[in-house]
Structure 1
Amino acid sequence: MITWLEQRQYDLHPPPTGGVPPGGIPAAAGPEPNRPGGQPAPAPLAPPAGLSPLPGEGRWQTVVSTPHGDAVRMTSVRPDLAHTSFVVGVLWLDPTLVRGVLHPGTQDPGGQWATPTSVDPAEQRSVVTAFSAGFRLQGDSHGGWYSENREVRPLVPGAASLLIRRDGTVDVGAWGSEVGMAPDVASVRQNLVPLIDHGTVNPTCATGGTAQWGSTVGQAAYIHRSGFGITPTGAMVYVGGPALSVCTLGDLLRSAGVIRGMELDINPAWVSGAYFHPDGTSRPKAFKLFPDEQIGAQHYLQTSTRDFVSFDLRSTADATASPRGPHHLPPPPRAFDPGRVTTRPPG
């Protein structure tokens, strides 16, 4: 019934096309100066094919810098050639400077955990970003959930999986073939099927059903969506914003350099990315990623009913040595069949 109502509302009020973003491409809130060290900045993101870039569009801005380099960069782009009045936010995270944490929610997955259901005061001293993890676990995600040596939902072979190791490094891939259980695995969050593999957008992004891309008004609807993936160097990319189809979400991830990626959440009430300025104290300054974000930037600093992922600054010892290396390189090419779905040039 909820899905039907969402579909009817979408049919009556689809996102408008044409126009320009009010005020243009927004500058990053809370920019910080660039510092040497860490991984170099990625290439600027190209605007949608057929559009000339607006001032500032696709240009990376540092929003969290450390003495060892820039930990978090962000940029804003328009989602596609038609929905040109909307802005999507993109976060880039340096794996040598940050570490990931999967937080449980009080309802998803529920239960008792050592990891808090919020970015608590202790973590607030080092947190740099947080975002919603994925669909509800009661069937909608079509995947499992694992943390603290407990498998709350069985991990599903082939499902798109966000894996966090005990050293805080993160990987994404199909469960059982690209990522899998090992002694150093701390947490696994599965959601739907892989959206990007070997740098190619899954061609079923335009045709798949609810088991692939979710039930909210269909995979071709242009709605709030989010996604996450890794690049060949292990850098992590989060995309969140309005007026995205599954294909355009995948295309944005790919254009940011992602080689393996997955869809996370759908729905304006849950698609949210926040970044923070940690200063060693609680209640850091918090910033929303994109203008149409409906959840406040302080959301993850309080108890959450849904699970989410946060990233914290590594210790000084961790930050001076790359935490991982060769495992981030993609395996030998095995492209999706049949073919490739792209509308943006890489980088």
Structure 2
Amino acid sequence: MKRTRARWIPALAVGAAVAAAVTGAVWARHSATSASAQPLAASAALRHGAKHAAGAGAGAVAPTPAAAAPHTYPLQTPLVASASRAFPNEGQWRVLAIDAHGEPVVQGTLLHAAGTSAPVAIAWIKESAARFELHPGYAQPGGSWSQPDMLPRGRRDGLIATWNGGFLMGDSQGGFYLDGKQYGPLVPGVAAEVFRRDGSFTVGVWGRDVKLDSDVVGVRQQRQLMIDGGRIAGDIDSLFTWGVTDGGATYVRRSGVGVTADGDVVFALGPTMSPRSLATALQQAGAVRAMELDINISWPSFMAYDASANPGDPRPFKWGDYPRPAERYFSHSARDFVAVYARATGAQGGCVDASGAPRSRPGGDTLVSPLAC
């Protein structure tokens, strides 16, 4: 998040928001063409045309119940009833990443963002099947740390997801802690992502839900919870509580992360969202505690990873509408970020359909990800 207040005139800010909303609506329309369409179809359509997007879902026929393999983690229950959907397949989950056993441990869906026509991309991660790592950026927080500011080869085996960090540390109203080293104070009452030695992850209020003990290896603090006890914050419409935006606009690109009552992780990202839009999406996704992460055009991102061709060097792909490249964290990052690994590594090749069952890979279209194809 930019530290300085934006200097755009209101007309430009409104124009940027409208353009982002149109782009987001196109992204949702193409992405929602099939419940079993692979996640790259939408972004590929924007770059290469609708013909490629249609081809990306080709052959994605769900198996008969007898052919479907049992899964410990089935697709999540749809978030939107058929009669209430703003676009086809809204709220229906698809597979984004699998572990070595073929389990769909990262799943995604699209929701209509409250207050705007743009969609919000939601990701769900089975917390107990994943291992979470906090990584510093070379500028934020800067300095020398135990973890690298990128994911070099040799650190990618089992990688299933990454997401962006938070505001500039000076705007976060909290601190950053990693493996015994600290940047700024860890402030009681401030929202925090917390990483434990066993690889587990949670979101909570520092000093109330979590505290620094021998099990905690990473903490990223920022402002206050957007959702607490399943309820949206009472000051959710107080714009500057939730960060200085490009052009002073209410509706900008925003991201956030939370945990469900079962402890699983949900992440949300949308191109034109108010604080309320983001909080509502996270609440719809089941978050009982959630916090905002970075905002504005340049910073939010969520990537899932396809390990079918090379388990040691999986191919990233975008989930959500944002300009950053999918390979963002394969290079040095100026800002902190989170990397997520499957606890069961050495991911298998092939495809999984929308139910998570394995199936043959369709051929001929290089845009097709082997996941959710």
State the TM-score, normalizing by the size of structure 1: 0.81
Are 1:25 and 1:57, in contact at CA under 8 Å, matched by a contact in 2?
A: no
Q: Give the alignment partner of residue 123 of structure 2, picking from 63, 69, 91.
A: 91
**Corresponding residue for 2:294?**
265
Q: Residue 219 and residue 121 in structure 1: after superposition, are their counterparts in 2 closer, same or farther (change >3 A)?
A: same
Are 2:75 and 2:94, in contact at CA under 8 Å, matched by a contact in 1?
A: no
**Residue 181 of structure 2 corresponds to residue 171 of structure 1:** no
Give the AA of the match of 1:124: R
Q: Per-residue displacement from partner, 1:138-164 (whole Å, max 9, x unpaired)?
A: x21111100011111210111110001
Q: Residue 202 and residue 312 in structure 1: after superposition, are their counterparts in 2 closer, same or farther (change >3 A)?
A: same
Q: Give the alignment partner of residue 10 of structure 1, picking from 10, 13, 19.
A: 13
Query: Which structure 2 residues correspond to residues 14-93 of structure 1 after superposition, within 5 A?
Result: 14-15=17-18, 21-22=25-26, 24-26=29-31, 27-29=37-39, 36-46=70-80, 52-66=85-99, 67=101, 69-80=103-114, 82-84=115-117, 86-93=118-125
**Distance in 2 of aligned mates of 1:95 and 1:191:** 21
**Corresponding residue for 1:320?**
none
Q: Residue 68 and residue 275 in structure 1: after superposition, are their counterparts in 2 closer, same or farther (change >3 A)?
A: closer
Secondary structure of 2:26's counterpart equals coil
Q: Residue 65 and residue 109 in structure 1: after superposition, are their counterparts in 2 closer, same or farther (change >3 A)?
A: same
**Corresponding residue for 1:136?**
168
Q: Per-residue displacement from partner, 1:44-68 (whole Å, max 9, x unpaired)?
A: 12289x9534212111001212316
**Corresponding residue for 1:186?**
217
Q: Per-residue displacement from partner, 1:231-285 (whole Å, max 9, x unpaired)?
A: 0111100101111100110010011110000000101100111110134544422
Are 1:38 and 1:96, in contact at CA under 8 Å, matched by a contact in 2?
A: no
Please, which moves more after superposition, 151-160 or 119-128? Answer: 119-128
**Distance in 2 of aligned mates of 1:306 and 1:245:** 23
Give the number of aligned pairs: 309
Secondary structure of 2:194's counterpart equals strand
Are 1:45 and 1:59, in contact at CA under 8 Å, matched by a contact in 2?
A: yes
Give the AA of the match of 1:167: D
State the TM-score, normalizing by the size of structure 2: 0.76
**Distance in 2 of aligned mates of 1:92 and 1:201:** 19
**Distance in 1 of aligned mates of 2:202 and 2:16:** 37
Higher helix proportion: 2
Structure 1 residue runs of 4+, over 3 Å off? 6-9, 11-14, 16-20, 30-41, 50-53, 217-220, 279-283
- Residue 76 of structure 1 deviates from its aligned partner by 1.3
Q: Residue 20 and residue 226 in structure 1: after superposition, are their counterparts in 2 closer, same or farther (change >3 A)?
A: closer
**Distance in 2 of aligned mates of 1:295 and 1:182:** 35
Q: Matched residues, percent identical?
A: 31
Are 2:135 and 2:148, in contact at CA under 8 Å, matched by a contact in 1?
A: yes
Q: Give the alignment partner of residue 243 of structure 1, picking from 272, 281, 291.
A: 272
RCO higher in structure (CA 8 A, sep ≥6) = 2
Unmatched 5+ residue regions in structure 2? 32-36, 41-56, 63-67, 346-373
Query: Which structure 2 residues correspond to residues 143-222 of structure 1 after superposition, within 5 A?
Result: 143-207=174-238, 209=240, 212-216=241-245, 221-222=250-251
**Distance in 2 of aligned mates of 1:186 and 1:51:** 43
Secondary structure of 1:117's counterpart equals coil
Give the AA of the match of 2:112: R
Q: Which structure has the greater CA radius of gyration?
A: 2
Q: Give the alignment partner of residue 340 of structure 2, picking from 286, 311, 320.
A: 311
**Corresponding residue for 1:287?**
317
**Distance in 1 of aligned mates of 2:39 and 2:74:** 21
Unmatched 5+ residue regions in structure 1? 317-347
**Distance in 2 of aligned mates of 1:265 and 1:55:** 29
